Structure 1
Amino acid sequence: MRKVLTVAEMTLRELVRRRRAIAFLLLLPLVFYVVRHEYVGQSVRSLFLGMGWAVSTAALFATTAGRTVDPRLVLSGYRAYQVYLGRLFGLWAAGAVLAVPFLLLIFFDVPGVRFGAVSLGLGFCVAVAAPFGLLIGILLPRELEGTLVLLTAVSMQMLLDPADALSKVTPFWSSREIGTYAVDHTGSEYLTRGTVHGVAYTVGLVLLVGLIVAARQRRRRHLRYAPEPEGVRA
């Protein structure tokens, strides 16, 4: 557990070094919220999506930065799953910290919403976004390509009808359902659907990324023996 916490601390330090980038990432959820401020339901759900994109992008940055560090950690005695879990926990911790100001903003600016459901929806945004960003970072080695994919995913989420079948397989559909329950005071079925979707997506992404990390680690040979020169044999 100590090694996992060490990697989590390294991840947080790496994110802190990118203060300017993180500040710009936080601008997107805030802009989404302010632009749709007169429509409470849309503003809260847009903030959820913006927060999901921000945490996913932070995870993408962390994955890119870890490419040069991870092999050294493994050679130092760290297991691949320890590096992965440490980075994931670090991102979840960072996402929770970043979510607090937005929770306070909604609490004071929109007093009529179900605040517990808002907290749950924002929590699922962070929970899903961290492994989702790690997955994109593993599959796409360049930050620009990964960022464009994340933007595409968020754009699809915003444009698709929430009742459409395709919308239900997008990463942050749970936040839209829970946001509707919180703002529009709909029936508990919205909360149930959103919770089930959020839990399933989080668990599925965590397991998927873990399997990819394990498979890649097994194929990677850190030590290779050079062929024995001729004439050296006894």
Structure 2
Amino acid sequence: MLLAIAGISLRELTRRRAALLLVIALPLAFYAARSDEPGQAVRFLALGVGWAVATLALFSHVGSRHLDRRLAVVGASPTALLLGRQLALLGTGFTIAGAYLVLVAVAQDVERLWAVALLLGTTVLVAAPLGAVVSLALPRELEGALALLAVMATQMLADPEGTLAKVLPLWSTRELTTYAVDATGEEFLHRGLLHFAAAFALCACGAWAAAVVRLRPSTPPEPVPATAA
């Protein structure tokens, strides 16, 4: 069941070639804007990958509403539908992240390339369920994509040491980027992984709750009793 749903999700995404290519290309623009500074370039690239994967997740979950309702009627559980779509999105996200990891390896002098791989991987893991959560709060693609872009822009611009930045889902990118590029102590790695674990747990639980709410059976209105003439 999971593989079948994942296959359906991948086919849905590949049908929208123009949107898919634009979303995949956006992290490159983020990276190119700061390519002269390795730390900023890698962090902005990770945030761009996060936005791309979250947006693809938003598109997938919004576009599949009617199909998922039909599958739920024939016995598919909300959990299976969510996991199947997330499997497809994670596969797509890791492919995008892998391509950009090659770019970093070729174009940047990074002390710990494996930590860049960890950075991009954790970003994908948070972004995929984040897009699913937003698809319930904002069930239209344009509004959802703008909301995700606002989250990523705030993550970029907010003071990394401030409270606002730390409560956003991808603050871990700052700590992991510092560890990867500047070869700092392992406290940056530990803080980044701890924040990632908390953000992933919250987004995953939120995505599951969103799937349950979205596919809950609707109860027909109770018939109004006829009044005696």
- For the superposition of Structure 1 and Structure 2, which TM-score range results when normalised by the shorter chain? over 0.9
**What TM-score results when the alignment is normalised by the length of structure 1?**
0.91
Instruction: Please tell me the residue identity of whatever aligns with 1:168.
Output: K
Q: Among 198, 211, 219, which residue is 2:209 paired with?
A: 211
Q: Distance in 1 between matches of 2:201 and 2:27?
A: 25
Q: Which runs of 4+ in 1 moved over 6 A?
A: none
User: Which residue in the other structure is 1:57 paired with?
Assistant: 55
Q: Distance in 2 between matches of 1:195 and 1:16?
A: 32
Q: Among 197, 217, 220, which residue is 2:218 paired with?
A: 220
Q: What is the CA distance between 1:81 and its match in structure 2? A: 1.0
Q: Secondary structure at the match of 1:166?
A: helix
Task: Summarize the alignment of residues 74-89 of structure 1 with structure 2, pairs less than 5 Å apart.
Answer: 74-89=72-87
- The question of whether the paired residues in 1 share the 8 Å contact of 2:110 and 2:180 is answered with no
User: Which residue in the other structure is 1:104 paired with?
Assistant: 102
User: Which residue in the other structure is 2:29 paired with?
Assistant: 31
| 1:94-118 deviation line (CA, Å, top 9, x unaligned) | 1011111101001111133311110
Instruction: Please tell me the residue identity of whatever aligns with 1:76.
Output: V
User: Which residue in the other structure is 1:144 paired with?
Assistant: 142
Instruction: Please tell me the residue identity of whatever aligns with 1:25.
Output: V
Q: Distance in 2 between matches of 1:179 and 1:9?
A: 33
Task: Summarize the alignment of residues 144-163 of structure 1 with structure 2, pairs less than 5 Å apart.
Answer: 144-163=142-161
User: Which residue in the other structure is 1:181 paired with?
Assistant: 179
Q: Distance in 2 between matches of 1:225 and 1:138?
A: 24
Q: Distance in 2 between matches of 1:32 and 1:184?
A: 20
User: Which residue in the other structure is 1:43 paired with?
Assistant: 41
**What TM-score results when the alignment is normalised by the length of structure 2?**
0.92
Q: Distance in 1 between matches of 2:31 and 2:211?
A: 36
Q: What is the CA distance between 1:65 and its match in structure 2? A: 0.9
Paired residue total:
224
Instruction: Please tell me the residue identity of whatever aligns with 2:150.
Output: T
Q: Distance in 2 between matches of 1:128 and 1:14?
A: 22
Q: Distance in 2 between matches of 1:14 and 1:216?
A: 19
Task: Could you tell me which runs of 5 or more consecutive residues in structure 1 were left unpaired when the two chains were aligned.
Answer: none
Q: What is the CA distance between 1:83 and its match in structure 2? A: 0.6
Q: Distance in 2 between matches of 1:33 and 1:60?
A: 23
Q: Distance in 2 between matches of 1:172 and 1:226?
A: 46
